[in-house]
């Protein structure tokens, strides 16, 4: 076993060094790498899929640089408020931008950013778009059909499974999306999805697919009304303390990219985390408003007692595969209404953000985020906040203060500075009260919610040499009150350095070093639970070589270490990837071979992988084995076909999950097939 791995490592290094001696220029950043940078480390597939779908759509239909507006630029997730401000100021002062290269003259813009923007924007000197119909008459209708099957199947598919746990449906999932767009005035969408194990039936009050999502969007129907959405939508405002859609957590990028205030159609197949009703965005002079009303049913395990019906959490899994799961489907009703008011003045804007949430049942939650804390029941939740954003010639400050119905507060404040053309900086301070409750928040933080956290973040992006880019950040955070399974409050430190070295136009190396100090519970010899310091470290090095315009090689080595009390664990992952395409045949093939040895869950490795068009997936690698990934895309006129196969072979018998979720074996595989037709 050791000799086989040694031989593979030798072949890996041979290929690595061989790429240094062969050079053909290609001045491009691969789209796949951009997607991985933006969403590759996210474990929130709902959020990541929405970002992925939007960026893929813009890449296929780039925007003209002289007509793009502030919202469209911020919606790319790669550009800051300050950069948008300087861009619009430059365009207003000097008129039309004639070339993408002209962006180098704008403060805050560098070669790295401009190369990324090349995929989303085009100038008059680029003929990358086919001749289009007049925008008001242009229409597009798209059908997406996707099937996914994973083997071996889970225990819930077995005949001997008990009647309450046995899955109704087959061992594959299906997804259908219908999308229609009419110029810049109207769009509509319908998403239908059934997970593996869910029945596809029209009997017993079933309606075919398990989940349906839809929207109708009217853009600029009148001067005053800018947008109307009927159906499913999501919201973002301020810094995410009330409405948090679109605000990601920490990543390898040091400069915080925050989302602007917006209402957008919901296009994901996840069955929670969205509004269903009507949202209206209006604008009058320098005042913008969003008003919305929503009534949506959620899945939750309800409990009936002498005090009535109550629940403690919403089930976000979206799984309704057996009697146990289906009995809780749509068991609670959630009503929402809210108002977002934004006033702009020169280079400043101020917002008032509010939301009222009413449940028909009692929502039971813990007063503090600890299982031993007092339980509280409520049906009505109110959140309000005031946010601000101010742009200066060299920096941008923004912040938000929020308060809930019980006068618990949360705050987030960010400074972004353009110190020098070769140096940018982000600073953030956050404080979330242990008792602050906001059901739809999602702000920049260490944890997954805006509750019980303090933190200070400092990030630096620098360009010390023409061919080197360095990102580094340090985040000092603490949890003032005990979290759910902890025995005491604790603090932690997260430190990351991320660098990119462009050796040639077609060859670069990326390196990441990450170390985090935090605390975890341990049982001492006297059987007393204590919090003791744990250390997690991560190191990865990746090479990207464009052998030619249609052939790309990518290699990666990642190592993780974990230490807690007397326990130590180490794991590693290595892969070789080849991407090739035949433009004349509209055919592209992605192949990746991975070996991994990860003995403990504490050193598990998430590794983003190429998926089908408009799809996102980040698998987790654990135990010892090897993985082969093949991804094929083919296009003919208005028809696109994609197929993906992922095969994992473990060294020993591997068991994943427990109960009905358990599946065991040495060979695991996932198949996906998708076809897209555009009219």
Asked if 419 contacts 461 with a C-beta cutoff of 8 angstroms, the reply is no
Supply 194's token pair: 């059934």
Asked if 621 contacts 574 with a C-beta cutoff of 8 angstroms, the reply is no
3-state secondary structure of 57: helix
- State the first-to-last Cα distance of the chain, in angstroms, to the nearest integer: 53
How far is the C-alpha of 515 from the C-alpha of 41, rounded, in Å?
A: 16
Supply 4's token pair: 């086989």
Burial of 627 (0-12, 13-18, 19+ CB in 10 A): buried
Q: Identify the helix (H) or strand (E) that includes residue 464.
A: strand 453-465
Question: Which tens digits make up the pLDDT trace of 392-423?
Answer: 888 889 999 999 999 999 999 999 888 887 88
Strand locations in 367-452 (E): 375-391, 395-404, 409-420, 423-432
As a dihedral over the C-alpha atoms of residue 218, residue 221, residue 223, residue 226, rounded to 10 degrees, the angle is 0
Supply 293's token pair: 């009303």
Asked if 433 contacts 412 with a C-beta cutoff of 8 angstroms, the reply is no
Strand locations in 119-253 (E): 121-122, 139-151, 173-182, 186-194, 211-219, 225-236
3-state secondary structure of 398: strand
Asked if 400 contacts 239 with a C-beta cutoff of 8 angstroms, the reply is yes
C-alpha distances out from residue 254 to 73, 249, 459, 475, 621, Å: 19, 11, 5, 11, 26
* CB proximity list for 565: less than 8 A, separation 6 or greater: 522, 532, 534
In sequence order, what are the beta bridge partners of 389? 349, 398
How far is the C-alpha of 275 from the C-alpha of 242, rounded, in Å?
A: 14
Question: Which tens digits make up the pLDDT trace of 501-545?
Answer: 888 878 889 999 999 999 888 877 766 778 888 999 999 999 988
Intervals of the chain under pLDDT 70: 1-50, 125-138, 204-205, 221-222, 245-253, 258-259, 526-527, 584
**pTM of the predicted model, to two decimals?**
0.86
* CB proximity list for 310: less than 8 A, separation 6 or greater: 302, 303, 361, 362, 363, 364, 377
Question: Which tens digits make up the pLDDT trace of 240-249?
Answer: 899 986 544 5
How far is the C-alpha of 580 from the C-alpha of 590, rounded, in Å?
A: 6
Question: Which tens digits make up the pLDDT trace of 461-500?
Answer: 888 888 888 989 999 999 999 888 888 888 999 999 999 8
3-state secondary structure of 111: helix
Asked if 371 contacts 485 with a C-beta cutoff of 8 angstroms, the reply is yes
Q: Which residues of 20-37 are buried (b: 16+ CB within 10 A; e: fewer)?
A: eeeeeebeebeebbbbbb
Q: Which residues of 384-421 are buried (b: 16+ CB within 10 A; e: fewer)?
A: bbebbbbbeeebbbbbbbbbbeeebebbbbbbbbbeee
**What's residue 32's pLDDT?**
60
* DSSP for residue 208: B
Instruction: Count Cα neighbours of 388 within 13 Å in the Cβ-side half-sphere.
Output: 11
Q: Is the peptide bond between 287 and the residue preceding it cis, with omega within 30 degrees of 0?
A: no
Kindly report the three-state secondary structure assignment for every residue of 288-330: EEEEEEEEEEECCCCEEECCEEEECCCCCCCCCCCHHHHCCCC
3-state secondary structure of 20: helix
- Residue 628 CA, chain-centre distance (Å), reads 25
How far is the C-alpha of 434 from the C-alpha of 456, rounded, in Å?
A: 17
């Amino acid at each position: 076993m050791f000799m086989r791995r040694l031989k593979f490592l030798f072949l890996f290094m041979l290929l690595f060094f061989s790429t240094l001696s062969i050079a053909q220029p290609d001045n491009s950043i691969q789209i796949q790498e951009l997607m991985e940078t933006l969403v590759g480390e996210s474990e929130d597939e709902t959020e990541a899929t929405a970002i992925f779908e939007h960026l893929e759509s813009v890449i296929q239909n780039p925007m003209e640089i002289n007509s793009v507006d502030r919202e469209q630029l911020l919606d790319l997730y790669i550009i800051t408020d300050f950069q948008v401000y300087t861009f619009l100021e430059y365009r207003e002062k000097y008129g039309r931008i004639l070339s993408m290269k002209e962006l180098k003259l704008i403060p805050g813009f560098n070669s790295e950013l401009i190369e990324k923007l090349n995929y989303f924007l085009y100038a008059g000197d680029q003929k990358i778009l086919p001749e289009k119909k007049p925008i008001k008459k242009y229409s597009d209708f798209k059908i997406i059909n996707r099937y996914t099957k994973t083997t071996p199947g889970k225990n819930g598919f077995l005949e001997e499974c008990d009647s309450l746990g046995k899955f109704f449906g087959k061992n594959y999932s299906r997804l259908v999306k219908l999308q229609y767009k009419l110029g810049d005035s109207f769009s509509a969408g319908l998403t239908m999805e059934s997970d593996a194990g869910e029945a596809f039936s029209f009997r017993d009050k079933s309606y075919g697919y398990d989940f349906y999502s839809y929207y109708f969007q009217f853009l600029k129907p009148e001067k005053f009304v800018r947008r109307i959405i009927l159906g499913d939508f999501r919201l973002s405002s301020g810094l995410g303390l009330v409405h948090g859609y679109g605000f990601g957590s920490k990543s390898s990028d040091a400069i915080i990219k925050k989302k602007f205030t917006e209402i957008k159609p919901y296009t994901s197949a996840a069955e929670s985390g969205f509004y269903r009703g009507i949202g209206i965005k209006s604008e009058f002079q320098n005042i913008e408003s969003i008003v919305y009303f929503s009534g949506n049913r959620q899945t939750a395990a309800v409990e009936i007692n002498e005090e009535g019906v109550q629940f403690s959490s919403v089930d976000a899994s979206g799984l309704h595969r057996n009697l146990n799961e289906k009995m809780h489907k749509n068991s609670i009703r959630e009503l929402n209404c809210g108002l977002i008011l934004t006033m702009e003045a020169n280079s400043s804007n101020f917002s008032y953000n509010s939301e009222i949430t009413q449940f028909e049942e009692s929502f039971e939650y813990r007063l503090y985020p600890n299982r031993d804390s007092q339980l509280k029941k409520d049906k009505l939740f109110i959140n309000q906040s005031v946010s601000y954003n101010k742009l200066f010639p060299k920096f941008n400050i923004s912040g938000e203060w929020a308060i809930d119905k019980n006068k618990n507060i949360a705050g987030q404040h960010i400074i972004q500075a353009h110190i020098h053309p070769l140096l940018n900086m982000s600073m953030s301070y956050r404080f979330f009260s242990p008792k602050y409750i906001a059901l739809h928040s999602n702000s920049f933080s260490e944890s997954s919610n805006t509750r019980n956290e303090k933190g200070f973040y400092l990030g630096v992006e620098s360009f010390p040499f023409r061919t080197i880019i360095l990102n580094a950040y340090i985040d000092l955070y603490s949890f003032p009150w005990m979290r759910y399974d902890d025995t005491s409050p604790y603090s932690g430190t997260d430190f990351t350095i991320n660098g990119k070295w462009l050796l040639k136009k077609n060859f670069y190396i990326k390196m990441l070093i990450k170390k985090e100090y935090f605390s975890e519970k341990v049982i001492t010899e006297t059987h007393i639970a204590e919090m003791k310091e744990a250390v997690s470290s991560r190191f990865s090095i990746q090479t990207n070589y464009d052998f030619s315009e249609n052939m790309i090689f990518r290699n990666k080595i990642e190592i993780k270490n974990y230490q807690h009390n007397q326990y130590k664990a180490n794991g590693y992952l290595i892969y070789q990837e080849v991407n090739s395409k035949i433009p004349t045949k509209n055919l592209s093939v992605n192949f990746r071979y991975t070996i991994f040895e990860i003995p403990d869950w504490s050193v598990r490795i998430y590794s983003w992988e190429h998926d089908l068009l408009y799809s996102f997936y980040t698998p987790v690698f654990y135990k010892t084995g090897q993985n082969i990934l093949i991804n094929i895309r083919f296009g003919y006129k208005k028809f696109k076909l994609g197929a993906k196969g992922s095969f994992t072979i473990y060294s020993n018998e591997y068991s994943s999950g427990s109960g009905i979720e358990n599946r065991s074996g040495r060979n695991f595989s996932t198949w996906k097939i998708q076809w897209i037709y555009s009219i």
